[in-house]
Amino acid sequence: MIGDLMMDSNAPLARLVRRLERYAPLPAADRQAILALPAQVERIGRGRRLIDEGQQDHAVMQLLSGYACRYGLLSDGQRQITGVFVAGDVLGVRSGDLPIAAQTVSTLSDVELVKIPHTAIAALAESRAAIARALWNESILDANMACDWIVSLGRRDARGRVLALLQELTARCRDAGLTIRDSLILPLTQEEIGDATGLTSVHVNRTLMALQAEGLIDRVGRRVTLLANRPPAAARMLSA
Amino acid sequence: MIGDLMMDSNAPLARLVRRLERYAPLPAADRQAILALPAQVERIGRGRRLIDEGQQDHAVMQLLSGYACRYGLLSDGQRQITGVFVAGDVLGVRSGDLPIAAQTVSTLSDVELVKIPHTAIAALAESRAAIARALWNESILDANMACDWIVSLGRRDARGRVLALLQELTARCRDAGLTIRDSLILPLTQEEIGDATGLTSVHVNRTLMALQAEGLIDRVGRRVTLLANRPPAAARMLSA
DNA sequence: CGATCCGTTGAAGAGAATCAATTTGCGTGG
DNA sequence: CCACGCAAATTGATTCTCTTCAACGGATCG
């Protein structure tokens, strides 16, 4: 809950700069402006809500470590995870005109994050076109990933969905430098994998065991290793 | 394929202004700048692709009439529709840094649309913060609707998914002034409804017949009427 | 050492896919 | 105006995936 020492507080914002420069460099002045943002580093435990649906004043956050997810609830209490966030990802990005959070975001593990008041970010986006564009990029990528998720849920069977989820997480953890040869620590319970893939935890369990029996994945405790590097092969289940 | 007369070409851009002002008014100068954009009105037949995945130079378009959809394909040829667009919706919005279209967009009916070169839009977004923010809004809403779609696909049964799709379309057509008492012309075939809901056309048919037998919907030809109306989650932001 | 959460396994049932006709609606051309 | 041809809608029978319900083992933690 307590921010780190002052001298450390610039490091996380440097990471935000790196993130926002993924696709296009920022003017030096914009970089400085980001580094000068009021920011707070927090450590938060597993299973805590970061942003609530309908919340108006939520901050912009960047995950420094750990996992989080966004989800929606149905009236009968069923939960569907609509996106998983890994270290480096930015949460709560939105333009100034849509103050309402559309979905809930919650942690999937203990996390570290930087928190920035949305007013400060909004002011920056208002005056600096390159920053606005970089944040806009985040929204677009978010929408693109959501579309891939839709395709997976709509047209793949349990095996394909779980595989696709593992592949997406592996790829994103690799980008974040969190993997060792396609091996990553997956803090999700099978229940949560089910919430992400639209399956029950029971069926997730059977699917994971089947994938392991097929030699496509290896599991040791919470560490999962992807042994098949062929995304297209995942969709071909005629051999099963 | 030929644009309309010059004197008509401002009317569709006025509609674009209205769209971009849904959530916040634009400065008069920004409105004028939009009206001055180079635009071309086109009529395009059903089943034509408007934007191809991987395409770099696609234009920004606003639907003036008709329906379109965005979809992804699996390697085995299965199709999953990830979003439906109705009159007024803006397609192909993206920031300057991500030139690649992530998914394919195709018409679901004969359509009319305005086409604007993305370079012209990008230049405007670069210099005018309010326009950038309005376009950004479109991306965020797009992501929000995709998330609702994910929840539907992951956690609802066939009945719930078809109902949710009809409710979303009804709500959006109502906003576009295309409904008469929750009744709308639905040009989607049952095959296409299946592609949107992750079902087969056979099961869509059975589900529609069941909904009709239950008295929840009424169908006459292509006209569908929602008889039991609950507020669709997807449109929550539209009424904000 | 019990409490609890998570993972694993079994058996039975529901919902959707699949396969296969058949019918309806509609534009087209004779 | 009617016959033809085609795409879409409808129906039936069967198969299979996934869910549901239930129980049990193993780890972790006060």
B105 CA – D6 C1', rounded, Å: 26
H-only helix segments in B98-226: 118-127, 129-155, 158-175, 190-197, 201-213
Confidence category of residue A171, pLDDT binned at 50, 70, 90: very high
For the whole model, what pTM was predicted?
A: 0.90
Predicted local confidence at residue A10, as pLDDT: 60
Q: Which residues pair with A44 in a beta bridge?
A: A111
Cα end-to-end span (Å), chain A: 49
B203/B86 Cα distance (integer angstroms): 25
Are the beta carbons of B30 and B130 closer than 8 angstroms? Answer: yes
Predicted local confidence at residue B10, as pLDDT: 59
Among chain B residues, the shortest Cα distance to A144 is held by: B102
What is the per-residue DSSP string for A33-74? HHHTS--EEEEE-TT-EEE-TT-SSPPEEEEEES-EEEEEE-
List the one residue out of B200, B40, B178 whose CA is nearest residue B109.
B178
Predicted local confidence at residue A5, as pLDDT: 41
Are the beta carbons of B101 and A172 closer than 8 angstroms? Answer: no
Q: Is A150 on the interface with B (CB under 8 A)?
A: yes
> Looking at residues B211-232, what average pLDDT do you find?
84
How many C-beta atoms surround the C-beta of residue B44 within 10 A? Answer: 19
Per the structure, the residue whose CA is closest to nucleotide C7 at C1' is: A205
Q: Is B238 on the interface with A (CB under 8 A)?
A: no
- Tell me the chain A residues in contact with residue B125 when contact means C-beta distances shorter than 8 Å: 129, 133
- Percent pLDDT > 90 in chain A is 77
Predicted local confidence at residue A58, as pLDDT: 87
Per the structure, the residue whose CA is closest to nucleotide D18 at C1' is: A203
Per residue in B140-188, pLDDT (tens digit) is 999 999 999 999 999 999 999 999 999 999 999 998 888 888 888 898 9
- Supply φ then ψ for residue B214, to 5 degrees: -75, -10
List b or e across B212-222, with b for residues whose CB sees 16 or more CB atoms inside 10 angstroms.
eeeebbeeeee
Please give the class, per CATH, of domain A156-238: mainly alpha
B31/B17 Cα distance (integer angstroms): 6
A58/A93 Cα distance (integer angstroms): 10
Least confident of A69-73, B18-22, B181-185: B181-185
| Best to test chain A binding among B144, B157, B192 (most A CBs inside 10 Å) | B144
Q: Protein footprint on strand D: which nucleotides are under 7 Å from a CB?
A: 7-13, 17-22
- Percent pLDDT > 70 in chain B is 91
| Partner-chain contact B70 A143, CB within 8 Å | no
- Tell me the chain A residues in contact with residue B155 when contact means C-beta distances shorter than 8 Å: 74, 78-80, 198
Domain locations in chain A? 2-151, 156-238
Confidence category of residue B99, pLDDT binned at 50, 70, 90: confident
Burial of B103 (0-12, 13-18, 19+ CB in 10 A): buried
> Looking at residues A140-167, what average pLDDT do you find?
97
Token pair in block for residue B110 = 């004969």
A70, A102, A154: residue with CB nearest B237: A102
Does strand C come within 7 Å of the CB of B126? Answer: no
Predicted local confidence at residue A9, as pLDDT: 47
Are the beta carbons of B134 and B25 closer than 8 angstroms? Answer: no
Average pLDDT, chain A: 89
In CATH, the architecture of A2-151 is Sandwich (2.60)
pLDDT(A115) > 70 = yes
Per residue in A42-60, pLDDT (tens digit) is 999 999 999 999 998 889 9
Q: Which residue has the tokens 């696609």?
A: B58
Token pair in block for residue A237 = 């289940």
The amino acid sitting at A170 is T
List the one residue out of B236, B225, B147, B163 whose CA is nearest residue B199.
B163
Predicted local confidence at residue B229, as pLDDT: 58
Least confident of A171-180, B37-46, B73-82: A171-180
A residues 162-191 lying closer than 8 A (beta carbon) to B? none
A residues 190-219 lying closer than 8 A (beta carbon) to B? 195, 197-198
B82/B84 Cα distance (integer angstroms): 7
Does strand D come within 7 Å of the CB of A203? Answer: yes
